[in-house]
Chains A and B, each alone.
Chain A
Amino acid sequence: MTTRTLCLSLLVLVSTAFPAQAVRLARTRLSPHVTFSLALAAIAGLAWFVTPLRPLLTLPFDTRFYAIAIGAGLAAPFVEYVIGSLTMRRFARLAVHERSGRGATALLAAVAAAAAEEALFRGVAFTLLEQWLVPAAVIAITSVVYGLNHLYFGWLTVWQKTLTGVGFGTLFVLSGHSLVIPLIAHVTQNLVVLLVLQRRAP
């Protein structure tokens, strides 16, 4: 590997490690979740453009992967809920913030955010890190960074998202590096949170 390629890989990795943070600097008139999704999508687009990637949007033939992905996506909010409840030692009612949107914009934003996170944390990060590391190590690293990317929600969210990250990373590797599989799981998770869960004041 040439020095330039090595430095390019490292630069993309450190620049895309905490994409959610860039949003805090953006001052726009759009609603926060739309700004968040747009910024995330822009970073993912740039990273996708500058990184030499192998084909990631292949579709696995084995249909079980699609079923597993949907199952994982349906289960993810509840797994995160159980971790949260065990940590806080009380079982509050499972609900999302009362101000979470339910309209078409909110849903599109959620889907875009999921796609951007998968493109960055599974697509770009795996492609770059697997140049040097075995898949298990890459799953571990990307999951921890994915978790830390949610630090502004607090340490509990970091644990929850690290675990979800392990799930998405494992799906990605087992499906033969198809981004579509963890994407289905991630979108399903976001849709469950937005459409199914009840709204409640914090």
Chain B
Amino acid sequence: MMTFGAQAIAVTAIWLAAYRLPFSSTRTRQRVRLRLSSLTGVPSKYVFPILGTLIYLVLGVSAAYVLGGPLTLLRWHVTPHGVALTVLAAAGASALTAFAMSVLYAVNPRTDVPSAVTGVRWVQEILALPGPWRWIVPAASAAVEEFFFRGVVLMGLLALGAPAWAAVVIAGVLFIVGQLVLTETRAQAVVLGLSSVTISLIGGLLTVVEGSVLPAILIHASFAAYYTNVRRPG
């Protein structure tokens, strides 16, 4: 179990480092953007949204493969109870996040949640995409993240005999740290951190109850799309 935990941490670190580091400098980004744009004919503003998403998804799927997560984690015995619980959990995830944001406003009325969200680099990139892609891209990334963290890591830990609370916490902390790494300012970290805590808690508990990662994927996918469709005030 310790070995599996260490492997999960290492694989997550490699996933995020390989996604983040090669394009951390603005100059490299600009060069890659122009090069790929002239090679493929894709408008330069779409280069990073597409390339970034592809790299992120491929790395995520590889991470799941390396840790040995089978697709059977997706198998869900659908019952009316399970469907109702998933809908309730989806409403709960929205409600908890909205509550966390209203606490931020109540504590500091100058908090600007929409700007913090739209300032995050991956959100910014997705916002450059046209129409339906603003839903599809974040939903796909969210599905892969959820399959890895709640499916491969959490259910893997459970299968190895870890107590449910430990599995939920370990998978959650890995996911939350991963999201924080992708932020640049304190405001971004607070907003994304709080929503990651919510998604980890709700998704983790739901995965344990349903014995499948599919419900958590559905919730996270609908949730991520909400953030990239936030409108800037004014």
Contact = CB atoms under 8 A, between A and B. Distances in A.
B121 to A, nearest CB: 25
Q: Which 4 A-B pairs have the closest CB atoms?
A: A15-B92, A21-B98, A11-B205, A21-B95
B38 to A, nearest CB: 42
B201 interface: yes
Interface string B91-110: 11111101100110010000
B221 to A, nearest CB: 16
A129 to B, nearest CB: 16
Q: Is the interface of B mostly helix, strand, loop or mixed?
A: helix
A149 B202 CA distance: 18
Contacts of B81: 49-50
Given A25-B98, A49-B81, 17 more contacts: A3-B163, A7-B164, A7-B209, A8-B209, A11-B205, A14-B96, A16-B88, A17-B99, A21-B98, A21-B99, A25-B94, A25-B226, A42-B91, A43-B91, A50-B81, A50-B84, A154-B106
A113 B161 CA distance: 43
B36 interface: no
Interface residues of B, number: 26
Interface in A64-99: none
Nearest to A20: B95
Contacts of B208: 3-4, 7
B231 to A, nearest CB: 12
Nearest to A12: B88
A196 interface: no
Interface of A: 3-4, 6-8, 10-12, 14-22, 24-25, 39, 42-43, 46-47, 49-50, 148-149, 151-152, 154-155
5 contacts: A15-B96, A21-B94, A25-B94, A25-B226, A46-B87
B186 to A, nearest CB: 22
Contacts of B163: 3
A6 B164 contact: yes
Contacts of B85: 8, 11-12, 46, 50
A73 to B, nearest CB: 26
B206 interface: yes
Nearest to A145: B99
B106 A18 contact: no
A43 B102 CA distance: 20
A18 B98 contact: yes
Contacts of B98: 18, 21-22, 24-25
B146 to A, nearest CB: 16
Interface in B168-206: 201-202, 205-206
Contacts of B157: none
B143 interface: no
A21 B102 contact: yes
A48 to B, nearest CB: 10
Contacts of A10: 205
Contacts of A16: 88, 92
A15 B99 contact: no
B89 interface: yes
